[in-house]
Amino acid sequence: MESSLNITGTNIVTCLVDSGMNYSNIYLSSAYIGGYDFVNNDPFPLDDHGHGTRVAGVIASRHATARGIAPDSKIVAVKVLDSSATGYLSTIAAGVDWCIQNKNIYNISIISMSLGTIGGIYNPTTNPMSYEPSLVNAYNNNITIVASSGNLGSTTGISYPAVSPYVISVGAVYDANVSSLTSNGCTDSITYADKVTCFSNRASFLTMMAPGAVITSTQMQGGFGAAYGTSSAAPHVSGTIALMLQRNPNLTPQEIKARLVLTGKIITDQSTNLTYSRVDAFNATTRNSLTGYGCAISNARLCQNDLECSPDSTCHHMNGQWGICSGDIVC
């Protein structure tokens, strides 16, 4: 992406709602432009757990070889998780609200949330809507929200806020063959690139997949280390959105979601036979025609069935289980 197009996410800003970040890390310091700590109520969102620093590195690490997806993008860190990586729903809601309130100050376009309800598995009809007004407000303010699906290995539901329709939900696949991996009570004895991890929450309504095992990223104490989880998958998508917005800053959250899903690589979850779109940063950033027939999409509505397009059109399937409403295709 960098060598061929010079698209590196320059000046696109992600509001990272997490455990803060080590903004003195040499590979992240130039990415950090501000933030707030809701745990300690001060303007210094320093990471005391490590989770947020790892997520930040996936998005924007400046390291020569272990580079983030969007290495010239910027990060605003909002600390809502404490030293044990736990937090209150009200604190997380306040963090999202802060991103919205400070959108124009920092030029925030993306909210990245590698977090979710502990033990909660939901589908669209059981969505707890814990802080849904905050998510709706962000969406309506043209901020694209990305959230990890969770690591309980569910094949019928995902965590909150990932289950919200205003969020791009992201599960995890392997980036390469890592031999075997055991996590959260499940073991993948065989691994390969694009294999869905056993620990990833997923279901037919999951938006997409991204690499989440095993991912090298920045550490709280400095340097780099390996991590796995849907928390590592979500920032791959957040970084990709930064690339997309550098190339086309007029994209809406709805258009971004459609482009991500419809330009991804189709993979099959061998345990459920469900198909998913795995993020493809190059295609998402460069392809202007999503249907393969020279057609363009104007403010596309992503769909899985005709009811989601009723009454004006039907769902035109184009990439696995996802499609767009036929009325939004312009040829």
DSSP assignment of 234-255, as one string? Answer: HHHHHHHHHHHHHH-TT--HHH
Question: What is the predicted pLDDT for the residue at 293?
Answer: 45
291 has pLDDT over 70: no
Q: What's the mean per-residue pLDDT of the chain?
A: 93
Phi, psi of 146, deg, nearest 5: -120, 135
Going from N- to C-terminal start, the domains of the chain cover 2-287, 292-331
Whole-model pTM: value is 0.93
184: Cβ contacts below 8 Å, ≥ 6 apart = 151, 152, 153, 199
Contact 325, 309 (CB under 8 A): yes
Given 37, 49, 51, 236, which residue is catalytic? 51
pLDDT at 3 over 70: no
Does the annotation count 51 as an active-site position? yes
Q: Per-residue pLDDT tens for 124-146? A: 999 999 999 999 999 999 999 99
18 included as an active-site residue: yes
Of 44-48, 63-67, 170-174, which gets the smallest average pLDDT?
63-67
pLDDT at 327: 80
Beta bridge mates, 225: 217
CATH superfamily of 2-287: Peptidase S8/S53 domain (3.40.50.200)
- Does 10 score more than 80 pLDDT? yes
Rounded alpha-carbon distances, angstroms, from residue 88 to 130, 207, 228, 235, 269: 11, 25, 24, 22, 33
Q: Which of 61, 149, 169, 231 is catalytic?
A: 231
CB neighbourhood size of 188 (10 A): 19
Is the peptide bond between 214 and the residue preceding it cis, with omega within 30 degrees of 0? yes
Q: Are strands 167-174 and 144-148 parallel, antiparallel or unpaired?
A: parallel
* pLDDT, mean of residues 174-179: 95
Average pLDDT over residues 211-229: 95
**Is it the case that residue 7 has pLDDT exceeding 90?**
yes
Mark 292-312 as b/e (b = at least 16 C-beta within 10 Å): eeeeebeebbbbeeeeebeee
